[in-house]
Structure 1
Amino acid sequence: MSLRDIKENLYKKEAPKNLSEHEISQYDPTVAKNTGEMNKGADDLWAKKNGFDQKEKKAIKKGVIAFLIILGIIISLFAYWIIRQMLFQAGNATISISGPSQANSGKLLTYEINYQNDNRLSIKNATLKITYPENFKPSQEAGFQEENLTSGSFNLGTIKGKSQGKVILNGKAYSPKGALIYLRASLSYNPSGYSSQFQTNSQIGVNVISAPITLEVLAPQNASNGDVVDYQINYRNDGAEIINNLVIEAKYPDQFTFSSASPKASSYNNSWDIGNLELGQSGKIVISGNLEGERENIKKVEASIGTREKGEMIVFNSESAETKIIFSPLSIAQAVNGKKNLNVNADDTLGFEINYKNNGNIGLRDVIVTEKIDSPVLDYSSLKLDGGSFDIDSKTITWKASDIRSLKNLGASQMGKIFFSIRVKDILPVGEEKDKNFVIKTVAKIDSPDVPTPISMNKIISSNAINMKVNSKLAISVKGYYSDQAIPNSGPIPPKVGEETTYTIHWKVLNVSNDISGATVSAILPTNSQMTGNIFPQDANLKYNERTNAVVWTIGNVNSGAGLLSSSPETAFQVKIKPSPDQAGREVGLLGKTVFSAKDLFTEENLLAEAKEKDTNLYEDSSIIGKNKVIN
């Protein structure tokens, strides 16, 4: 009932009898009396309720339990961390290297590598890896496993807590004086109860203060553009032991053209295999070539000595020398057959042209030009001169003013030319194994008394050199037989129309002065000629293509002097012919032109030798002379 309804009922003249009736509640006096609510005062009714009900108590209890669990976990983890820190810390596993920080190259060095585990826990799978440069050679130590040229390791296994140990590494450093090398140690391990791997490192630097091999490089102090220069490399074993498998390598300056070396280079004109060098043993290498450059340029030549392992040079010592390019008032150059660089063959005629010039601003008196041509393969009887005189003892041609009038006073910027020729011997002088790899070296020089000689410097004499390598001479012998001991033949002699007759062809090669590789002999059989398949020796690498009628004999490498100083490679094979009626009364072809080809390993040129075709006119077989033409 709304308040408005109650108000209307109250003020009616006749109020409803049931106006005071209402639903029983805690506000009813009779009810309140029984429940005690009516006895509460005003303060009791508005007072804050004390305590928590059951739901609130349960929630609080759960929160407290969760907090205690989390706190327990945190405390446990912290305690575990503290305990682990007490049992293991990476910084408590250490290594150190002790030993000499200065060393004489080639002397035995001893290094002590100490390792220590200050943890309570043991460390397992401990490996001590040692790394070093290629020019440090470790000795064979107990427990040391060499992995490659620059590293090895000690397998330490388990290192107990609160323990330490050491290993010894001996070795020798082979380095140039002043080199700084580093030995590095790395300890890798797993602490007990850990899956992670830990590592600690240490290193020591070693300064090399001396070298076991003395090396000296000599070069001219100065040279003019295009001059011939000689470099000399001196070496000596001043160490305490034999040094094995030594190699010397030279690094030439820019614009240096190699001409020759004594002894000859082992490879690439700049590397020499010295082999073993005894205590106190010494040697030298002299290198010649032309040096070009602009005035005031400094040209440096370097040399290194060491060993070569797996294609890499391990240097024991290195030195260098410098040459200054200076101005020369005289210049000279030469060409052979119009070229400055060339290889020549036996029986070649060499046409020389010498060009000279006064580059200065004043004339030069009494100029002399010389040309030295010294080689055992030259035929000096064929020398043709345009003036000048030849001294057979010094193998030198000299031109003076009496030969060329302009040399009396060569004016400023004046130039001139000289021509002469000489022939290479047809038969190269090969009498023993050392007679190989021939080189014709020619050196032209020009000088005048008016050219000054500066104090503390070399006299300025202009020169120019050419080195010509001589190709090996190849030859191929082709012979045919009917009566042959290696492969017997059959059929009518003279050959008869419609009937088969067989012949044996012999190939024999000759190689004179240089080693060769990739040697092959090949020929084409005429259509009417075929191989039977019989060859000698039976293991000869001889192939026949029936479709092209090509025969190829693969020989491979052939040493110099084969056929002169040693036996020649030789093979034989059988061919057959069946003459046709149109061939009656004529000789029948057995073999086409034979070609012998190979690569010269000294001059690096491809060489060829050829032999003429072969037919049934086999003059080398006396048993069938006059029986070479086909009959009916």
Structure 2
Amino acid sequence: MDREDKSRIEGLNDTLYSRTRYKDPLDKRTPVKELESKDVEEKWQTPELNEMLTHERVVMKASPFMKKIFAFAMLFFIVTILVAGFVFMGGSTFISSRNVDINVLGPTTVSAGEVLELGVTVSNTNNADLELANLSIQYPSGSRNPDNTVESLTYTKDNLGVIEAGHEAVQNVNMVLLGSPGETKEIKFSVEYKVKGSNATFYKDKVFEIIVGQAPIIFTVESPRSVTSGDNFTTVVSVALNAKDILKDVVLKAEYPYGYSVFDATPDSSADNNIWALGDLSPGDKKTVSIRGQLVGENREERTFRFYVGVSDSNNVSPNLKINIISRLNTVTIDRPSIGLNVAFNGEDMPVYMAPADRPISASIKFQNNLPDKLLNPRLEVNLSGSALDKSSVAAGNSGLYDSKNSRVIWDLVNPLGSPELSPGGDGQVTLRFSSLPAASLVEGNRDIVLNFSITGIPVGAVGQNPITINETRTVRISSQVNFSSKVLRSLGSFANFGPIPPQVGKETTYTVVFGVGNTQGDLTDARVSARLGPGVSWLGAHSITGENISYDSSSNIVTWDMGALSSGSGFSSAAREVSFQISLTPSLGQIGTSPSLVNSIVFSGRDVVTGDFVTASNPPLTTRLTSDPAFIQGDDIVVK
């Protein structure tokens, strides 16, 4: 910076901050110049735009062809409007399903089992006739023919003929509806018709709803409100008809809760111990079914029984009854017994125990005091009865006393300290062993051993009063005993056998196989014997004096003897069942030095008619070692070259 400029700046600075050298600026004012305004255009346009606006608009003229198209479109639109109006107002031959009406006249509710009468009117308000008109009806489930209530109604079709224009056809429809009270049923009516000059078929539908009202059956269930677990009790079901007409093929169905077992019923059930065919009910008729059973469960548990009354779909009672008229629920509360008693035979706890004849049976009896007080002088008794019992086989454990004269076993129960009392919750166990008579000694038709258990005691708070007693009953049923024999013969039997003995490789030797079956106790059904022929063995034929049904399946190499029914006492009081068949053996080199198997997998099976249990028996394979043939010599069974 020049020295001169610097001195000027410094001087200015001194003047600015000096108190003596400061001078006020001169009061000079300069006037503001006036703004020159320009004219603003009122219209936004340019000369070019003005030039364009001066030109005249040229209107295009429509061609004659376009005028013709427009005229044709207008004419078509007018004709369409006229035709639509004519059709809408009702042409002379126009048919519309809206002009076909189905009117159903009848009640909105009907009692189950009573005849329902409906009046069906089909109206034709068209200007043309309805030809080949038919009225079809789709009935709801539970519909019956009023003339024969056994016959179900599902679908009908009636010919109405020709329904003229402006006329109507009337049809009366009768049916019997079965169902639960309050159930809504739908009846579908359909009219099918044709019109003159057309092959098309037209339809009109109408659904009529009706509610099933009061049931025609008076239905009651009587049983205890509470039962002790394990105690037997009876449930009585009563069914009465409260209607004017007969109700046919009435069925009662019961559904039992878990833990319930049926012992017997009066009358006997038709199927599965829970279905009874009550037959036809006339007005005022009443039928009763008594069911005796046992309910087992925990203390204060509630179990519900369900009972249904309806009509079967056919003459045969079906366990899957679907048409129910009325139902009832019955709830029973389970109370814990004051003294718990549990019985098991050979470790199995069941009301009816199946056991073979002349075999030892071990009974385990557990008891427990469920009272809040001590139980004094507890005593357990078991009474055994039944002609199948071998009285000499009864043996009581745990210091029990057996009274052979009365077939009774008695235990005076004590606690672990030896005192004749049971504390609250105190328990214990005793054992009993017995068996049945041999199968040959059993009386035909009576194979049960019945055991009646009774435990008594006096609660501390009830001294001087009647003791508490708990009773239980168990049954041991002696199962059917089948004597099944099988043997191979050579010198005896129904067939003349041939071939080398001992058997030789590549040469055919024939044998006779004999099956025999005897039955000691209880009729059997579906009895059969099956067996499989061994390697290199061929089927030749069968023989039976009594005409037994025996067959051979070459694809599986299995022989089947279909016996059907096997009567009790077969082989003892009556002749045994027996069948024979002939086979041939052609040994191979691999069988040299062996006794080849002729028949194996020999099994008998059948079902006990009384108990429903399956009875089976099997025999070991039959070989060329003919131990049942008197002409057999040791070594005749070994295959040689």
| Same-fold call, TM cutoff 0.5 | yes
The equivalent residue for 1:90 is: 98
SS of 1:203's partner is strand
Retained in 1: the 8 A contact 2:130–2:162?
yes
For 1:123-202, list aligned pairs within 5 A: 123-124=130-131, 126-139=133-146, 150-156=154-160, 158-175=162-179, 178=181, 180=183, 182=185, 184-190=187-193, 192=195, 197-202=203-208
Letter in 2 for 1:332: L
Local SS of the residue matching 2:231: strand
Give the match for residue 533 of structure 1: 540
The verdict on how the C-alpha distance between 1:264 and 1:125 changes in structure 2, with shifts beyond 3 A counting, is same
2:145, 2:153 within 8 Å by CA — same for their partners in 1?
no
Mapped partners of 1:241, 1:569: distance in 2: 55
- Please give the per-residue CA displacement for 1:318-360, whole angstroms capped at 9, x wherever unaligned: 4443211234442221221122246433333221111111123
Which of 317, 321, 333 is residue 342 of structure 2 equivalent to?
333
Aligned pairs (5 A) from 1:51-450 = 63-64=70-71, 66-83=73-90, 88=96, 90=98, 92-98=100-106, 101-103=109-111, 105=113, 109-120=115-126, 121-124=128-131, 126-139=133-146, 150-156=154-160, 158-175=162-179, 178=181, 180=183, 182=185, 184-190=187-193, 192=195, 197-211=203-217, 215-224=219-228, 226-235=229-238, 238=241, 247-258=251-262, 267-272=271-276, 282=287, 284-295=289-300, 297-309=301-313, 311=318, 312-313=320-321, 314-341=323-350, 343-371=354-382, 377-386=388-397, 387-388=400-401, 399-400=411-412, 408-427=420-439, 435=445, 444-450=453-459
In structure 2, distance between residues paired with 1:265 and 1:522: 38
Cα deviations by residue, 1:280-311 (Å, 9 ceiling, x for unpaired): 5845343323321342x322212334444385
Supply the distance in 1 between the matched residues of 2:405 and 2:191 (Cα, whole angstroms): 76
- Segments of 5+ residues of structure 1 without an aligned counterpart are 1-51, 454-458, 620-624
Q: Secondary structure at the match of 2:581?
A: strand
Distance 2:258 2:503 in 1: 72
CA pair 209-372 structure 1, distance change in 2 beyond 3 A: farther
Q: Which residue of 2 aligns with 1:505?
A: 513
Give structure 2 stretches of 5+ with no counterpart. 1-58
Cα gap change, 1:360 to 1:237, in 2 (>3 Å) = closer
Cα distance, 1:76 vs. partner? 1.4
1:299 counterpart SS class: strand
Q: Which moved more, 1:132-141 or 1:338-347?
A: 132-141
Q: What is the alpha-carbon distance in structure 1 between the residues aligned to residue 369 and residue 617 of structure 2?
A: 45
Q: 1:504 to 1:630 in 2, by over 3 A?
A: same
Say whether residues 1:595 and 2:584 are aligned partners.
no
1-structure distance, mates of 2:155, 2:267 = 37
Q: How far apart are the structure 1 equivalents of 2:337 and 2:491?
A: 73
1:169 and 1:373 map into 2 onto residues whose CA distance is 66
Per-residue deviation, 1:569: 5.0
State the percentage of identical aligned residues: 16
Q: CA offset at residue 423 of structure 1?
A: 1.4
- The number of residue pairs the alignment matches comes to 546
Q: Tell me the amino acid that sits aligned with residue 250 of structure 1.
A: A
Residues 70-123 of structure 1 show CA distances to partners (whole Å, capped at 9, x for unaligned) of 112212112212215996462651221425944364x5x141331221413434
TM-score after normalising by structure 1: 0.69
Tell me which residue corresponds to 2:17: none
Instruction: Provide the secondary structure at the position in 2 that maps to 1:204.
Output: strand
1:477 aligned residue (482, 485, 489): 485
**Matches of 1:293 and 1:607, distance apart in 2:** 38
Looking at structure 2, the residues matched to 359 and 490 of structure 1 have their Cα atoms a distance apart, in angstroms, of: 77
CA gap of 1:76–1:592, structure 2 versus 1, over 3 A, is closer
| Letter of the structure 2 residue corresponding to residue 202 of structure 1 | F
The match for 1:618 is 628
Aligned partner of 1:256: which letter?
Answer: Y
What residue identity is the alignment partner of 1:519? Answer: R
Q: Give CA deviations for 1:542-586 in whole Å, capped at 9, x if unaligned.
A: 43779x9x7632427445538368876532112457999xx9xx9
Question: For 1:227, what is the secondary structure of its paired residue?
Answer: coil
Structure 2 partner of 1:488: 496
Q: Counterpart of 1:418 in structure 2: which amino acid?
A: V
CA contact under 8 A between 1:360 and 1:413: conserved in structure 2? yes
Whether the aligned pair in 2 keeps the contact of 1:102 and 1:209 (CA below 8 Å) is no
Deviation of residue 630 (structure 1)?
6.4
Could you tell me which amino acid in structure 2 is paired with residue 338 of structure 1?
Answer: G
Whole-angstrom CA distance in 1 between matches of 2:177 and 2:574: 46
Contact 1:95–1:202, Cα closer than 8 Å, also in 2: no
In 2, distance between residues paired with 1:242 and 1:562? 48
Query: Is contact 1:477–1:611 with CA below 8 Å preserved after alignment?
Result: no
State whether residues 587 and 630 of structure 1, in contact with CA within 8 Å, keep that contact through their aligned partners in structure 2: no
Higher RCO (C-alpha 8 Å, min separation 6)? 1
What corresponds to 1:574 in structure 2?
A: 582
Question: CA contact under 8 A between 2:106 and 2:119: conserved in structure 1?
Answer: yes
Residue 495 of structure 2 aligns to a residue whose secondary structure is coil
Residue 587 to residue 115, structure 1, CA distance change in 2 (3 Å) = same
Deviation (angstroms), 1:198:
2.7
Identify the residue that residue 9 of structure 2 maps to in structure 1.
none
**CA gap 1:54/1:299 in 2 versus in 1, 3 angstroms:** closer
Equivalent pair of 1:228/1:465 in contact (CA under 8 Å):
no
CA 1:191–1:576 in 2, change beyond 3 Å: closer, same or farther? closer
Give the RMSD, CA atoms, in angstroms. 5.0
